C-alpha cells in the first residue's frame, strides 16, 4: 500500500538546497517542512503545525519538490519523498509535468511574438492560421481573448495519451479527429463576452504560433522563453525523450497508486505539455515579476508586460491568474495532469513567491498547505488564516448517521463514501479517489479541515441520513444514500 511505503521509509525528507537561504539569515533554509497547517484550524488547536511527511502520507503523494523565491532570488530548492512508490528520491532536478502552468509559459512566448511584430493581440486569429477556422458569426476571435480565456472556445482540459499509443497531429486535435480523444475545438460562446477556461483555446494558440513563425512549437518556445530565462531542464517535447525519462517523477493514479505507464503524453503542448522543475519555474516566475515591475532587461518589455497584467474577467490577465483585485499584486497558476499537480505564485512588488510540484493526482490540498507554510515563514503579504472551527466529539450515533455510500442527485454517476478509517475518524472519498478527513461540527453537520467542504444531514433527526447537502465553498449539491 502507498501509505505503508511512506510510513516505512518515513519519506526520509531527502533534502538538497541551492545557495544560502534563510529568513533568519543563518545560511540554512527554514524548516518549512515542519510548519504545515490545515485549511481550517480547529478551536483550541489554532497554532498546530504538521510535518510534510505525515501530510504526504495523508494525501498519498509520493514526491514533492519546492523552490522558494525571496527578493527575486531562488533561496531554497529541495526535493522530498520519492519519484515513484519504492523508487529513487526526489531531488531539485527531478522533472514533473507542469500541466496548465504550460499556459503561462506559452503566454509569454506569444507576447514575445507580439513584440516582434509576428502576431497582433487584437487581430482576427484567422489571419495567422489556416489549420483552425470558425464561421465568425459570433464575432472575431483574437489572441488576447484566447490568452485570457474569453474567446468562447470549448474543451476545458486535456485527457492525455498512454505512452506508446498513437498520437494525434495538431490538425487532428483541432478537428477532433481520431486518434484525438477530445472533441473538435470550436467557438461555442460569444467572443469577449465572458471568462470560460479553455485548454482548447491554447491549442489554437499553439497552431497560431507555429504557423506564424514557421517553427515547431517546442524549439520555438525554447528560443522565446526557456533559453532566455535559463530554464535548462525544461522542455515542451512530447513525448518526453528517452534520455530524460530517468529524471522524471512517475505520476500517481486517483487512488494514490502508481499510474500505469508512469505518465501521460500531451501533444497539446501549449496547454499542458511542459516538463520542468520548480527551480526552472521559479526562474520563470522571477521573469514574470521583473516584467511586471517594469525592469529594463526583463523577458517582456513594458508594454507587453502591461498587457499581461491587465485584469480581465475572472481576475485573469493574459495566461496568468492575478488574484483578488483588493489584495497585493500577485501572479499565479495551477497545473494538473493525470498523475501530477503543481502551482506557482509570485508577488511582484516584493518579488517573493514559490513553486511546488508533486506527483500526486490529488496533490492540490497538500500544495495549499505547503504554500501556507512558506508564506508564514517568509511573511508573504497576503498570508491569512481561516477562522477556527469548533468541533464536538465523534460518537457512534454521528458515525452511523453519516456512514454509507451516496450519489449526487444531479450527477448520479458521481458517488462517494463516508466511512471510519483505521484510527476511528470519519473519512470522505469519491469512488476510486483519495479522500479527506471529516470532523463533526454538530450531530448533524460535518466539515473537512483539509478543505472548505461541509456535509450536512437534510434531516438531522434521522438515525441514518438518507440525504445530505454538500457544500464546497462555491455552492451546494444534494446527495442521496444508495447503500
DSSP letters for 259-299: PTTSS-B-S-HHHH--EE-HHHHHHHHHHHHHHHTT-TTSS
What gap in Å lies between CA 278 and CA 17, rounded to an integer?
12
Q: What's residue 27's pLDDT?
A: 59
Which residue has better confidence, 276 or 19? 276
- Count CB neighbours of 71 within 10 A: 9
For residue 6, is pLDDT > 80? no
Separation of CA 422 from chain center: 30
Q: Hey, what's the cell of 58?
A: 495523508
pLDDT in tens, 451-461: 889 999 999 99
For residue 10, is pLDDT > 60? no
Residues contacting residue 115 through CB under 8 Å, at least 6 positions apart: 300, 301, 303, 304
Burial of 246: CB neighbours in 10 Å, binned 0-12, 13-18, 19+? exposed
How would you write 238-267 as a 3-class SS string?
A: CCCCHHHHCCECCCECCCCCECCCCCCECC
Burial of 302: CB neighbours in 10 Å, binned 0-12, 13-18, 19+? middle
> Among residues 337, 187, 332, 356, which one has the least CA distance to residue 265?
337
Residues contacting residue 308 through CB under 8 Å, at least 6 positions apart: 107, 108, 111, 288, 291, 292, 300, 317, 318, 319, 320
What gap in Å lies between CA 286 and CA 303, rounded to an integer?
18
Q: What's residue 5's pLDDT?
A: 42
Backbone phi, psi, residue 141, to 5°:
-100, 135
For residue 197, is pLDDT > 70? yes
What gap in Å lies between CA 407 and CA 412, rounded to an integer?
5
Buried b (16+ CB within 10 A) or exposed e, 162-194: eeeeebbebebbbbbeeebebeebbbebebbee
Q: Which domains does the chain have, with CATH numbers?
A: 97-378 (3.40.710.10), 396-481 (2.40.128)
Residues contacting residue 22 through CB under 8 Å, at least 6 positions apart: 28, 29, 30, 75
Is the distance from CB of 268 to CB of 161 less than 8 angstroms?
no
- Count CB neighbours of 236 within 10 A: 26
Is the distance from CB of 100 to CB of 201 less than 8 angstroms?
no
CA atoms within 13 A on the CB side of 437: 18
| DSSP state at residue 458 | S
- Return the bridge partners of 316, or none: 321
Averaging pLDDT over each range in 26-30, 266-270, 419-423, 468-472, which range is the top one? 266-270
Cα torsion through 447, 450, 451, 453, rounded to 10: -20
Size of the chain in residues: 483
What gap in Å lies between CA 57 and CA 63, rounded to an integer?
10
Separation of CA 446 from chain center: 27
When pLDDT is cut at 50, 70 and 90, the band that residue 136 belongs to is confident
pLDDT in tens, 376-408: 999 999 888 889 999 999 999 999 999 999 999
| DSSP state at residue 123 | S
When pLDDT is cut at 50, 70 and 90, the band that residue 306 belongs to is very high
pLDDT in tens, 14-60: 433 333 333 334 457 789 999 999 999 999 999 999 999 999 999 99
For range 84-99, the mean pLDDT: 97
DSSP 203-219: HHHHHHHHHHHTS-HHH
Buried b (16+ CB within 10 A) or exposed e, 20-29: ebeeeeeeeb
What gap in Å lies between CA 345 and CA 322, rounded to an integer?
10
> Among residues 66, 67, 70, 65, which one has the least CA distance to residue 24?
70
Burial of 97: CB neighbours in 10 Å, binned 0-12, 13-18, 19+? buried
Is the distance from CB of 115 to CB of 162 less than 8 angstroms?
no
H or E element that contains 306: helix 302-308
- Determine the number of helices (DSSP H) and then strands (DSSP E) in the chain: 13, 15
pLDDT in tens, 112-133: 999 999 999 999 999 999 999 9
> Among residues 98, 101, 81, which one has the least CA distance to residue 89?
81
> Among residues 299, 316, 90, 283, which one has the least CA distance to residue 201?
316
What gap in Å lies between CA 174 and CA 204, rounded to an integer?
7
Q: Hey, what's the cell of 415?
A: 458517488
Q: Hey, what's the cell of 6?
A: 511512506
For residue 482, is pLDDT > 80? yes
Amino acid at each position: 500500500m502507498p501509505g505503508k511505503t511512506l510510513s516505512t521509509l518515513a519519506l526520509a525528507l531527502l533534502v538538497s538546497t541551492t545557495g544560502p537561504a534563510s529568513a533568519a539569515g543563518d545560511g540554512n533554509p527554514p524548516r518549512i517542512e515542519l510548519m504545515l497547517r490545515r485549511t481550517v484550524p480547529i478551536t483550541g488547536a489554532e497554532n498546530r503545525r504538521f510535518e510534510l511527511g505525515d501530510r504526504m502520507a495523508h494525501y498519498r503523494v509520493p514526491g514533492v519538490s519546492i523552490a522558494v523565491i525571496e527578493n527575486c532570488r531562488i533561496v531554497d530548492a529541495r526535493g522530498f519523498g520519492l519519484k515513484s512508490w519504492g523508487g529513487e528520491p526526489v531531488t531539485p532536478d527531478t522533472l514533473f509535468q507542469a500541466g496548465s502552468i504550460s499556459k503561462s509559459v506559452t503566454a509569454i512566448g506569444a507576447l514575445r511574438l507580439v513584440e516582434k511584430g509576428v502576431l497582433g493581440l487584437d487581430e482576427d486569429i484567422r489571419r495567422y492560421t489556416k489549420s483552425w477556422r470558425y464561421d465568425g458569426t459570433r464575432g472575431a476571435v483574437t489572441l488576447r481573448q484566447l490568452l485570457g480565456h474569453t474567446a468562447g472556445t470549448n474543451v476545458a482540459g486535456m485527457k492525455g495519451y498512454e505512452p506508446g499509443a498513437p498520437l494525434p497531429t495538431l490538425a487532428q486535435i483541432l478537428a477532433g479527429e481520431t486518434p484525438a480523444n477530445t472533441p473538435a475545438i470550436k467557438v461555442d460562446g460569444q467572443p469577449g463576452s465572458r471568462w470560460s477556461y479553455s485548454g482548447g483555446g491554447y491549442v489554437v494558440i499553439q497552431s497560431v504560433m507555429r504557423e506564424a513563425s514557421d517553427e515547431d512549437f517546442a524549439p520555438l518556445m525554447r528560443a522565446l522563453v526557456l533559453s532566455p530565462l535559463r530554464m535548462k531542464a525544461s522542455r515542451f517535447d512530447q513525448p518526453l525523450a528517452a534520455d530524460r525519462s530517468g529524471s522524471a517523477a512517475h505520476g500517481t493514479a486517483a487512488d494514490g497508486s502508481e499510474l500505469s505507464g508512469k505518465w501521460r503524453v500531451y501533444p497539446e503542448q501549449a496547454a499542458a505539455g511542459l516538463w520542468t522543475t520548480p527551480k526552472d519555474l521559479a526562474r520563470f516566475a522571477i521573469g514574470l515579476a521583473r516584467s511586471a515591475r517594469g525592469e529594463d532587461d526583463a523577458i517582456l518589455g513594458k508594454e507587453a508586460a502591461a498587457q499581461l497584467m491587465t485584469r480581465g474577467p475572472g481576475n485573469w490577465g493574459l495566461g496568468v491568474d492575478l488574484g483578488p483585485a483588493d489584495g497585493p499584486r500577485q501572479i499565479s497558476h495551477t497545473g494538473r495532469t493525470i498523475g501530477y499537480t503543481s502551482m506557482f505564485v509570485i508577488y511582484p512588488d516584493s518579488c517573493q513567491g514559490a513553486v511546488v510540484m508533486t506527483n500526486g493526482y490529488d496533490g492540490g490540498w497538500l500544495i495549499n498547505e505547503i504554500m501556507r507554510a512558506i508564506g508564514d515563514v517568509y511573511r508573504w503579504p497576503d498570508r491569512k488564516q481561516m477562522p477556527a472551527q469548533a468541533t464536538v466529539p465523534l460518537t457512534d450515533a454521528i458515525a452511523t448517521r453519516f456512514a454509507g455510500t451516496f450519489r449526487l442527485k444531479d450527477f448520479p454517476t458521481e458517488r462517494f463514501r463516508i466511512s471510519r478509517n483505521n484510527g476511528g475518524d470519519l473519512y470522505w472519498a469519491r469512488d476510486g479517489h483519495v479522500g479527506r478527513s471529516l470532523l463533526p461540527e454538530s450531530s448533524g453537520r460535518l466539515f473537512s479541515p483539509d478543505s472548505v467542504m461541509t456535509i450536512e444531514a437534510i434531516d438531522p433527526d434521522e438515525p441514518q441520513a438518507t440525504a445530505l447537502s454538500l457544500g464546497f465553498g462555491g455552492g451546494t449539491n444534494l446527495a442521496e444514500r444508495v447503500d
